Chains A and B, each alone.
Chain A
Amino acid sequence: MGPEFNAILADAKPRMAQLKAMSADIDAQIHAIIAAATPGVGLSDDDNAKVQQLGQKQRDILTTHQKLTLISAAALDDSATLQNLTAALTGAVAVLKSEIAAIAAVSAHCAEIGAVCTGLDDIIAKLTALIGPKTA
């Protein structure tokens, strides 16, 4: 395990942790919606649509996390496709860095104008910024 692999992994780790935190955020939102629903009745159509939307976003985030994880594993294994995969990992980390910076900028902007940047819509906006526009 050479120093370059350690550097790659060290670079990828915080991004992966950030993605997992996003996923946990979504879980919390889904739990909150379910907790507010009436037992025996279930979710309203509107709440159900929100849950489906959040679930899809969570799965998109997990796919990105999984890709980083698998590429890290391949890079550590020094496999035949190492060169390409290492480049892919570096590229993926660079993209994530800029996307996460964009999220930070959105948060800073919210604070600047005194807007409330929490709640469902804000999380969806952050996730859209993180993984790009996808099917809602």
Chain B
Amino acid sequence: MRIITKLFPLLLMAVAVAGCTSTSSYREPIATFASAADKAATAFQSLDDDATGQLNGILFQQAAKDKLIQKSGCTADSDGCTFTLVGANDGVPVYVPDLMPKTAALLNGIRDYAEALDTLEKADATRDVQAATSKAVGSAAVVAGAVNAIAGTALTSVAEPVGAVVGYGYGLYQDNRKHAAIVRAVTIMDGVIQGGRAEMATKLKLIQTAKLDDLEKAVSTAHTAFLAEKTPDALTRAINAAKAMDAVIKAGLPDLYDKLAEAHAKLKDAVTHPDADPAAVLNALSAFLAQAQRIKDIADKLSTTEKRSD
């Protein structure tokens, strides 16, 4: 008994140290992923708003040119109310509320999941751990629902009840159990995220092309205006239009989701294999963070320029 009394503090210390090691090794990767996912979601929302405005602008011009629109719905017992075009584009809405709501939901879901994961990693009470785990797995379900081409196995995992994932008791082994919850959430989400790569690459490429069409028109306008006017102001406008287009071409928007998926795969490595190469993990996360930041900066700048020119 005396021996046990002497050894008990040492045992406590050993458990505490083991616990610290198991979580602190991926604290930074999780925080970095959460920060990058937030920037990526914000940037996409801005680009989606922009693309919605572009399409609505084209539809508006078409309606104004045709001088004919018709009501669609717009009675007390109808499902909604809008206007549509008439003639060659019969039935086409005059405006759309959101061009890509599912993709926005997907990236917002990944952001919410990453936030929950970060909260989970920092939680020090059973209740917080359970709530954060539930939120992380719930976000995975939202994301899975927003990806059309989702991997079947990932959907099956998401469908499992949260109760099966966590069974926490607050105590000496909490860190180990917390680690198990993180592994579970990250593994589930990784299947979902990797399953959406091809679809997201196509969508982001389309969004980028639509934006570049807009900027190409601006460059063309500024170029021909300078050839006609030959003033310093016209030259400045031409240069600024070229700079804006150059930034979007070089931003690498179509690769954003690939970077996110690569970063998440490395995050999964970090939490499932404690001996994973920390440099490789941080490199992938840094690449995603840098690209998300770059695209967010460009989206912010374009948004500010458009508001100024309105």
With A1-B149, A2-B148, A79-B96 as contacts: A59 and B58 at CB distance below 8 Å: no
Contact partners of A63 in chain B: CB under 8 A: 58, 213, 217
With A66-B58, A77-B100, A77-B203 as contacts: A84 and B217 at CB distance below 8 Å: no
Contact with B203, one of A73, A80, A85 (Cβ below 8 angstroms): A73
Stretch from B10-18, B85-93, B177-185 contacting the other chain: B85-93
Are A79 and B213 touching (Cβ within 8 A)?
Answer: no
Q: How large is the interface on B (under 10, 10 to 19, 20 to 34, 35 or more residues)?
A: 35 or more
B126 contacts partner chain A, Cβ-Cβ < 8 Å:
no
Q: How far is the CA of A67 from the CA of B206 in the complex (A)?
A: 11
A78 contacts partner chain B, Cβ-Cβ < 8 Å:
yes
Interface residues of A in 11-35 (CB under 8 A from B): 23, 30, 34
- In the complex, what's the smallest C-beta–C-beta distance from B104 to chain A, in angstroms? 9
Contact with B209, one of A23, A69, A78, A85 (Cβ below 8 angstroms): A69
Are B102 and A77 touching (Cβ within 8 A)?
Answer: yes
- In the complex, what's the smallest C-beta–C-beta distance from B298 to chain A, in angstroms? 18
B223 contacts partner chain A, Cβ-Cβ < 8 Å:
yes
B176 contacts partner chain A, Cβ-Cβ < 8 Å:
no
Interface residues of B in 197-239 (CB under 8 A from A): 198-199, 202-203, 206-207, 209-210, 213-214, 216-217, 220-221, 223-224, 227-228, 230
Contact with B102, one of A23, A62, A78 (Cβ below 8 angstroms): A78
A47 to chain B: closest residue by CB: B227
With A78-B102, A91-B88 as contacts: A73 and B206 at CB distance below 8 Å: yes
With A62-B217, A76-B199 as contacts: A87 and B224 at CB distance below 8 Å: no
Interface residues of B in 63-114 (CB under 8 A from A): 84, 88-93, 96-103
With A73-B203, A78-B148 as contacts: A51 and B92 at CB distance below 8 Å: no
Are A1 and B91 touching (Cβ within 8 A)?
Answer: no
Q: How far is the CA of A81 from the CA of B216 in the complex (A)?
A: 27
B22 contacts partner chain A, Cβ-Cβ < 8 Å:
no
B72 to chain A: closest residue by CB: A84
Contact partners of B217 in chain A: CB under 8 A: 58-59, 62-63
Contact partners of B220 in chain A: CB under 8 A: 55, 58-59, 62
* Residue in A1, A65, A66, A72 with the greatest tally of chain B CB atoms within 10 Å: A66
Q: How far is the CA of A78 from the CA of B101 in the complex (A)?
A: 9
A131 contacts partner chain B, Cβ-Cβ < 8 Å:
no
Q: A42-B227, A72-B206, A80-B97 are in contact. List 19 more A-B contacts (CB 8 A).
A: A1-B149, A30-B224, A34-B227, A43-B227, A51-B227, A55-B220, A62-B220, A66-B54, A69-B213, A71-B55, A73-B100, A74-B96, A74-B99, A76-B203, A76-B206, A77-B203, A79-B98, A81-B97, A91-B88
- Residues of B at the A interface (CB closer than 8 Å) are 51, 54-55, 58, 84, 88-93, 96-103, 148-149, 198-199, 202-203, 206-207, 209-210, 213-214, 216-217, 220-221, 223-224, 227-228, 230
Question: Can you list the 7 inter-chain pairs with the closest CB atoms, starting with the nearest?
Answer: A55-B224, A66-B213, A73-B206, A77-B100, A88-B92, A70-B55, A69-B210
